[in-house]
Amino acid sequence: MRFDFIMQLFILNVGVQSFILYIYFNYYFQILLTKYFSKFQNEYDYIIIGSGTAGSVIAHNLVTKTNFTFIVIEAGGESNSLFEIPVLGPMLHNSVFDWQYETIPQQNACLAMNYKKCKLPQGKIVGGSSKLNNMVHIRGNISHYASWFYGKYHESYLNRHFDMIEKNLLHLNEVQYESEMATAIAEAAEELGYSRLGSEFKVGYRKSKLSQKNGKRWTISDNLDSSKYVLSNALVEKVIIVNDIAKGVTVQISDKKHNIFARKGVILSAGTINTPKILQLSGIGPPNILNNLNIPVIKNLPVGYNLQDHVTTGLDLILFNKTLSVNAMSMLDVFNVYQYFFHGKGPLTTAGCEAITFLSTKGENIPDIQFMVMPVGISSDRGSYLRLALGINDSVWEDYFEKFFDKHAATILPIVLHPKSKGQVHIITTDPETPPLIDPKYLSHDEDVKTLIKGLKLVQRFLNTKAMEKVGAFINPQHYPGCKSHTIFSDSYWDCYVRHLTLTSYHYVGTCSMGLTSSNSVVDTSFRVFGVANLYVADASVLPTLPSGNINAAVAMMASVFFDENINLVKKVRNSEHCHKYQLLYELIHKICLI
């Protein structure tokens, strides 16, 4: 390795290790505070498990629209101002503020990763995975969302919920600072005949709309007074269920177990991996899994099945003859640090994804591929952190990524919007601290591989435009390790490439799917767990299929619908001044419906 690369690695390593040290100090200091100063009541009206996007939407609505008491129980710790610096988001991946989940060894994918396992980042922090993501806000195709509820709601109703969230809970802004690549991609899209995306969801392009305020990361949890409503560093072990009614939860805080009870409902918003884990530990799930662990089966439901994810590939596939304005070393520039902290501007506001495109590999106006345009690749930090967080094995790193340190590497991720491959999540022990087995079965369906290959060919088309050539962009000519027997850029080469360099978009859904019957679903279209009263699931796990784009906006909308359906309705009935003499009858009918 050249001397200048060694110096860059040294400088970046010092910065990375300093921040990691700060992360650990912050985490364990919070653990200490929780041990001695955490306060909570024995009973609330509602218990919300998880403070991610869905849990935070529900909690905010409870505060602003009702007088109900509630507590949000979060397994992770609090965020802070340094964690809100957008460019540092990836540094929380694989840290103590990440659940550090990974897949089991994959047969058809993740071949370039250590032990053929793909990392699956999931936020273990107040705010959940929205504290680790790229902050990109996309409504997606509303008609798909309407189908989740089997025609129960019109698209206009769902759009009203999006409007409310965007106006009241989020701060949405265009990209504050962008590299030359963002403009080049937009010009390349126009050169290829694509139009700018408007409010209608179709094929096209646009620069990213981000959830930021004054240049810093903004999540829906930031609306909530966490000191008052959130019990952090508290691990929910199981739901307490008596006579098919959810009564509360068992929670572990500083090695002590506590029972906290709910008068009206327990709401699981722990995410696509942790929600099925908690349900299975509570006795709700497939009998073959529960019986093997001697867990009494309370309800036989397909908990943990139907796991889906937006699979992608293409790290560092684009090289430049010059360094772009967004790069790893620019983040250490004192002037750029000043720009961020005093003006909310500069490269430290970079979200990772500068632009998005929605494309069709079938020549239709309905996209099946999404591009996420990223001005840097994992080689930008010279191996100090990003490749470790992704789990790239040493031989691949040395035989591929280290060979183009003299170039600026960037990434366009072609994402399969509607993958056919489906996997599962299930517990392997009764210990609530043990990670569940996660098998997404990436690329087990050949259609996903074919779509990804077509996506990579679309990347090539973009690189062949005058707009991209003008900024010195070209496709990485290095043969990927393990694929050298194939003619480079042939279909067989790309097939090999995607199976080696398989990546998640962190968009896991489906493990507690919504549906009409308990034979193939976990919750009904009102988010109620089949057969268990006062138990609800409201997070990405209930989505039967993936949205056409980043999932955070869709999850927020869904949580808002949950509140209207299950909590606001109760409040409206109780506060109604009409038909007062029938109030008890209305409440009785509502309780029967909940059961």
Q: Which residues contact 398 (CB under 8 A, 6 or more apart)?
A: none
- Which run of H or E residues covers position 504? strand 503-504
Q: Which residues contact 441 (CB under 8 A, 6 or more apart)?
A: 106, 108, 421, 422, 423
Cβ atoms of 524 and 515 within 8 Å: the answer is yes
- Which run of H or E residues covers position 367? none
Residue 578 CA from chain centroid, whole number: 43
- In whole angstroms, give the CA distance from residue 271 to residue 510: 10
Q: Residue 356: phi, psi to the nearest 5?
A: -135, 150
Give 443-495 as a DSSP string.
T-SHHHHHHHHHHHHHHHHHHTSHHHHHTTEEE--SPPTT-TTSPTTSHHHHH
Using alpha carbons, select from 302, 282, 227 the residue that is nearest to residue 518. 302
CB atoms within 10 A of CB 255: 6
- In whole angstroms, give the CA distance from residue 324 to residue 327: 6
What's the distance, Cα to Cα, between the start and end of the chain in Å? 66
- In whole angstroms, give the CA distance from residue 183 to residue 14: 33
Give 392-438 as a DSSP string.
B-HHHHHHTGGGGTTSEEEEEEEEESS----EEEE-SSS-TTSPPEE
Q: How many helices (H) and strands (E) does the chain have?
A: 17, 23
CB atoms within 10 A of CB 26: 18
**Does the annotation flag 537 for ligand binding?**
no
Residue 200: is it exposed, middle or buried by C-beta count within 10 angstroms (0-12/13-18/19+)? exposed
**Does the annotation flag 236 for ligand binding?**
yes
- With H, G, I as helix, E, B as strand and everything else as coil, classify residue 71: strand
- In whole angstroms, give the CA distance from residue 189 to residue 205: 7
Q: Residue 407: phi, psi to the nearest 5?
A: -115, 160
**Does the annotation flag 134 for ligand binding?**
yes
- In whole angstroms, give the CA distance from residue 305 to residue 284: 13
Q: Kindly report the CA angle at 234 between 279 and 268, in degrees rounded to 5?
A: 30
- Which run of H or E residues covers position 259? strand 256-268
Residue recorded with tokens 């360099």: 501
- Residue type present at position 69: T
Please state whether beta strands 311-312 and 305-307 pair in parallel, antiparallel, or not at all (unpaired): unpaired
- Considering only CA atoms, give the Rg of the chain: 24
- Which run of H or E residues covers position 144? helix 142-148
**Does the annotation flag 136 for ligand binding?**
yes
Question: What does DSSP assign to residue 347?
Answer: G
Per the structure block, which two tokens stand in for 244?
């098919």
Cβ atoms of 293 and 307 within 8 Å: the answer is no
Using alpha carbons, select from 91, 136, 173, 182 the residue that is nearest to residue 375. 182
Enumerate the known binding-site residues for FAD.
133-136, 236
Enumerate the known binding-site residues.
133-136, 236
